[in-house]
Amino acid sequence: MTSNNLQLTKDGKLKHFLSIEGLNKAILTDILDTAESFTSVTDRSIKKVPILRGKTVANLFFEASTRTRATFELAAQRLSADILSLDIKTSSAVKGESLLDTLHNLEAMQIDMFVIRHQDSGSAHFFAQHVKPGVSVLNAGDGQHSHPTQAMLDMFTIRRHKQTFENLSVAIVGDIKHSRVARSQIHALNVLNTGQVRVIAPRTLLPEYTETLGVQVYHDLDEGLKDVDVVIMLRLQKERMTGALLPSEQEYFRQFGLTPDRVKLAKPDAIIMHPGPANRGIEIESSVMDGNQSVILQQVTYGIAVRMAVMSMIASQPESR
């Protein structure tokens, strides 16, 4: 798959960050190690390092976002970059400007790094194919395809709690079909040699041929949670109820909602994760979300360090301008 090497320089350094697929274990580990070194920065009273001084980062969000956008902004600021955040829903795209024209116009403003979220799968690849040499693209979520920084902050959270991946059993629960987060997590977990990756969902929320992604498929939550080390709950988008994908929220909670009783099926030291935003009482009960096995808020904090790591690695490769 040569065209996905788009995100690497000739000598294998990170040039864009588009998807986990196509990256090897060494690069993922490098991201995690670099993020580790940045956690101390974010804990300091003066939370800045000069790695991106003089560089301009543009945040292009064609879809709504709270924590991804905010943590990308904070990450760029803590690396001393100038940052421009554009809410495209209120700008020229609405007036009919093509995506490519938007890109070229921003490029004319000497942007060094684009952080893009867009509703089309493949949009980050598309951007990376068309930017000038030396300009980088970071995927903050493209359609149902990929959300690689989210996956990496999840890997970071898992590693902080479990140290290694080899002997872990990880369950991802919920709407896999429409989830770019799940796809990226599955790739990352497999690249990092995770012992076992399970997905648990009703058939209507699983894509066809899910097992080809390298996972074990469960349709029963109790069965799937048995003895796992990590439980990752996915958000259930409410609009899924209208497309005949699910009977009702109540039915979903009864079949696939994470309750304290169900947490007990996992290992006693299992951690509970959620990429947010969570629907309390639909996919996860409040007491689990706020319970002592939950690491959901740590995920948000680590998001800053992981995004700093990816940005700094891209800025340090030789083709960066």
- Is residue 78 involved in binding another protein (CB under 8 A)? no
- Is residue 209 involved in binding another protein (CB under 8 A)? yes
Using an 8 Å Cβ cutoff, are 295 and 161 in contact? yes
Query: If we measure between CA atoms, which residue out of 176, 187, 68 comes closest to residue 116?
Result: 68
- Is residue 213 involved in binding another protein (CB under 8 A)? yes
From 51-59, 79-87, 105-113, 207-215, span contacting another protein (CB under 8 A): 207-215
Site for another protein in 134-153 (CB under 8 A): 142-146
Helices 123-130 and 99-107: crossing angle in degrees, nearest 10, is 50
Q: Which of 100, 195, 280, 297 binds another protein (CB under 8 A)?
A: 100
Spatial distance between the Cα atoms of 87 and 207, rounded to a whole number of angstroms: 31
Q: How far is the CB of 48 from another protein (least distance, A)?
A: 35
Token pair of 12, please? 């294998």
Task: Give the number of residues in contact with another protein, rule: CB under 8 A.
Answer: 29
Q: Which amino acid does the sequence have at 94?
A: V
Q: Which is nearer to another protein, 123 or 136 (CB)?
A: 123
Give the burial class of 198: count Cβ atoms within 10 A of its Cβ; 0-12 exposed, 13-18 middle, 19 or more buried. Answer: buried
- Is residue 208 involved in binding another protein (CB under 8 A)? yes
- Is residue 265 involved in binding another protein (CB under 8 A)? no
List C-alpha distances in Å: 61 to 58, 66, 195, 217, 228.
Answer: 10, 10, 35, 33, 35
- Is residue 237 involved in binding another protein (CB under 8 A)? no
Spatial distance between the Cα atoms of 226 and 219, rounded to a whole number of angstroms: 13
From 45-53, 124-132, 267-275, 277-285, span contacting another protein (CB under 8 A): 124-132
- Is residue 105 involved in binding another protein (CB under 8 A)? no
Q: Can you tell me which residue has the tokens 């997905």?
A: 199
Query: If we measure between CA atoms, which residue out of 91, 125, 117, 90 comes closest to residue 105?
Result: 91
From 155-163, 167-175, 204-212, 225-233, span contacting another protein (CB under 8 A): 204-212
Q: How far is the CB of 222 from another protein (least distance, A)?
A: 26
Spatial distance between the Cα atoms of 159 and 32, rounded to a whole number of angstroms: 9
- Number of CB atoms found within 10 A of residue 89's CB: 11
Q: How far is the CB of 39 from another protein (least distance, A)?
A: 30
- Number of CB atoms found within 10 A of residue 231's CB: 30
Q: Which of 24, 37, 66, 98 binds another protein (CB under 8 A)?
A: 98
- Is residue 123 involved in binding another protein (CB under 8 A)? yes
- Is residue 212 involved in binding another protein (CB under 8 A)? yes
Q: How far is the CB of 227 from another protein (least distance, A)?
A: 27
Q: Which is nearer to another protein, 119 or 316 (CB)?
A: 119
Q: How far is the CB of 111 from another protein (least distance, A)?
A: 19
Q: Which of 16, 21, 191, 283 binds another protein (CB under 8 A)?
A: 21
Query: If we measure between CA atoms, which residue out of 177, 259, 159 comes closest to residue 217?
Result: 177
Residues that bind another protein (CB under 8 A): 1, 3-4, 6, 21, 98-100, 118, 120-123, 125-126, 130, 142-146, 180, 183, 207-210, 212-213
